[in-house]
Amino acid sequence: MSTLEIYGTLGPSCADPAILRQMFETGITGMRLNLSHGTLAHSAGMIEAFHKAADEAGVHPSLLIDMQGPELRIGTIEKSRILMDGETVILARRSAALSPAGAIPVPGEIFEHYEDGMTLLIDDGKRKLKTTRMRRLDEGDLIEARVITGGALLSRKSIAVEGRAITGNTLTEQDILNLQNAEAYGVTDVMQPFVRGAADLREVRKAMQESGAGRCRLFAKIENTEGLAAVEEIIPLTDMVVIARGDLGNAVPLWHLPYVQKEISHKCRKAGIPFMVVTQMLASMEKAPVPTRAEVSDIFNAVVDGASSVMVTGETASGSYPLQVAEYLVRTAREGLRYRETL
């Protein structure tokens, strides 16, 4: 039978060595650590729990770090904030020394590409704003926007402009620091978000070699229109293609996303390069102990389509049922693999 890599994501819900041990015993083969908000040093406690659990379970799971990369993010929200549908909010440059009270700090790239009527997607599109005007003031420009889809606004969440590819540098200073410390923390895999083409991967590979992380595998996330257009040049330069359906579902019409997933899967199979499918595989299980029928079908079909790996994110990182998530993910993926072997 072919091998199948099955990843959870580290977070408060599963940071106990006893929980992680049970997840490994269930069949989880690796854990992702989201470093878009911090460093390996900040996550030292969870990493220690990961290694302790692996030793107790007698396994050697992968430790995958998910880098910051060129993704744009809002700044720190000091107080919890609920956005109400229809309200007007103020956006200020994240780098501004002074901002009006209650302003949402956003990257400067949003100002540099500003147009009236832009749709801003925050937190993988969970929050949606429509820009109405920019106010140019001596103390700093401000953007006014109307809330289309409200809800809780949290710090450091992704922000994108609908239908437009606006990104930052391939690697941040934080990314370089994490690569330099990767070996010391036992990192085995590096995931680069928002890959835009071959140049991004060559830059990351070079940085990995220079930082002492050259032995790690490099995973390339396809989650924007640039990466989608360049997928054939990306495939030969990566150890694993990641079909990252969260932001990819913002970059293309949602009803077109399944087609895109199938196309990337086909190109990876044709080239003989492993690929991973991720995002909302068991999203309902963040709050429920049993998944939906659609979710298990999604996992099954991804594996039947040739996926070498599947992964959950918030389901194990912050959800209420990390052990149940691990069991359903592993069992469903193995069922898909068993069926694939008969084809």
Q: For 158, which DSSP code?
A: B
Amino acid identity of 314? Answer: G
Is the pLDDT assigned to residue 97 strictly greater than 60? no
Which tokens is 295 given?
A: 């979710």
Q: Which sequence spans correspond to the domains of the chain? A: 5-71+169-340, 81-161
- Least confident segment among 3-7, 97-101, 259-263: 97-101
CA dihedral 205, 211, 215, 218 (to 10 degrees): -40
Q: Span 262-282, mean pLDDT?
A: 98
pLDDT per residue as tens digits for the range 244-271: 999 899 889 999 999 999 999 999 999 9
Cα 243 from Cα 220, distance rounded (Å):
9
Q: What is the pLDDT of residue 76?
A: 84
Q: What is the mean pLDDT of residues 291-303?
A: 98
pTM equals 0.83
Confidence band of 139 (pLDDT split at 50, 70, 90): low
pLDDT of residue 211: 95
Output the pLDDT for position 175. 94
User: What is the average per-residue pLDDT within 184-192?
Assistant: 98
pLDDT of residue 213 exceeding 90: yes
Residue 338 has pLDDT above 70, yes or no: yes
pLDDT value at 167 more than 90: no
183 has pLDDT over 60: yes
* Among 10-19, 34-43, 135-144, the range of highest mean pLDDT: 10-19
Distances (CA, A) of 295 to 51, 192, 280, 290, 325: 30, 26, 8, 10, 11
CATH of domain 5-71+169-340: 3.20.20.60
Q: What is the mean pLDDT of residues 74-101?
A: 82
More confident residue, 68 or 333: 333
pLDDT reported for residue 237? 97
Of 111 and 327, which is predicted with more confidence?
A: 327
Alpha helix locations (H) across 44-153?
44-57, 108-112
- In 97-123, which positions are buried (b, 16+ CB within 10 angstroms) versus exposed (e)? eebeeebbbbbebbbeeeeeebbbbbb
Residues 25-72: tens digit of each pLDDT: 999 999 999 998 889 999 999 999 999 999 999 999 999 999 988 778
- CATH number assigned to the domain with residue range 81-161, chosen from the 4 options 2.60.120.10, 2.40.33.10, 3.30.565.10, 3.40.50.300: 2.40.33.10
